[in-house]
Copies of this chain bind each other. A is one copy, B any other.
Amino acid sequence: MAMEGYRGFLGLLVSALLVGFLSVIFVLIWVLHFREGLGWDGGALEFNWHPVLAVTGFVFIQGIAIIVYRLPWTWKCSKLLMKSIHAGLNAVAAILAIISVVAVFEYHNVRKIPHMYSLHSWVGLTALILYIQQLVVGFFVFLLPWAPLSLRAIIMPIHVYSGLLLFGTVIATVLMGVTEKLFFVLLSAYPMHAVLLEDRRGRKTHHSFPPEGVFTNTLGLLILVFGALIFWIVTRPQWKRPREPGSIPLQLNGGGNADGMEGAVAISSAHSMDPADAELSSEGAARKRTLGLADNGQRSTM
């Protein structure tokens, strides 16, 4: 299906994928080269799964899940299939995020380190709980066919907003985590960096940019750029999945009728189609009744 500004989209998509892959490579190099490596021993090797799984699942896979509806070569696929892929990727991201948190809790237990004392942990665990809630709500309201269209119309804007907010919060959490971990390890690994702390207390000085610090800062920047690219791709209205029926005969996506039409028409067309595919037009209908043309505004962040 034709897409407007297809080259621009492709360029940004490839950039996002590259930067995302690079972030995963960087976090792997971090734990394998600069740190102790990976393992499930209740020690440092186990802790190191935390950054790896957080960046791979909670940042990279979540980012891809967010833009999956935007891939033009999926526009011929049924909406139900795309929803399943969207939900599936988010589920994988959630599972990896949960394992990454388990790794830290086990590590803390073995080392008898108190849990949840850092801002990173407060924000991170809150984000994970809300992310799982978002996944469950999305599954029952949008993927299962039983939710009334009116409910979908109410939940969709919240779903879109929460999704983007959680993605941004997760990235902020990762940046805090990188900051935190770097301080811990550099204090033990680089005495001259510890002297930086003493400087804060006015003692003698040392100028040093430990290579690991520069490396992890670069990782942080890569994750930030990845987030910025996903945010741009997902907020371009011209790159939204179109509402026209796809080329698959069995797909009954009447959403195309909702655009720029009376709410009543959209609703009636909505009732005549597969409920699993209908929330867009019912959304359009509901919002047209209340917001005039604002429908596009909402979908622009889908």
Contacts and interface: CB of A to CB of B under 8 A. Distances in A.
A169 to B, nearest CB: 7
Q: Chain copies in the assembly?
A: 2
Interface residues of A, number: 71
A301 B236 CA distance: 11
Interface stretch (A22-30, A72-80, A114-122): A114-122
For chain A, what secondary structure do more than half of its interface residues adopt (helix, strand, loop), or is it mixed? helix
Contacts of A216: 119
Interface in A278-302: 287, 290-301
Interface stretch (A51-59, A146-154, A176-184, A245-253): A176-184
A240 B250 CA distance: 39
Given A175-B175, A179-B118, A183-B183, A199 B111 contact: yes
Contact of A117 (B111, B184, B196): B196
A217 interface: yes
Contacts of A236: 157
A196 B290 contact: no
Contacts of A178: 119
A164 B238 CA distance: 19
A40 interface: no
A113 B220 contact: no
A168 B173 CA distance: 12
Contacts of A179: 118-120, 176, 179-180
A277 interface: no
A237 B294 contact: yes
Contacts of A123: 175, 220-221, 224
A17 interface: no
A260 interface: yes
Nearest to A126: B221
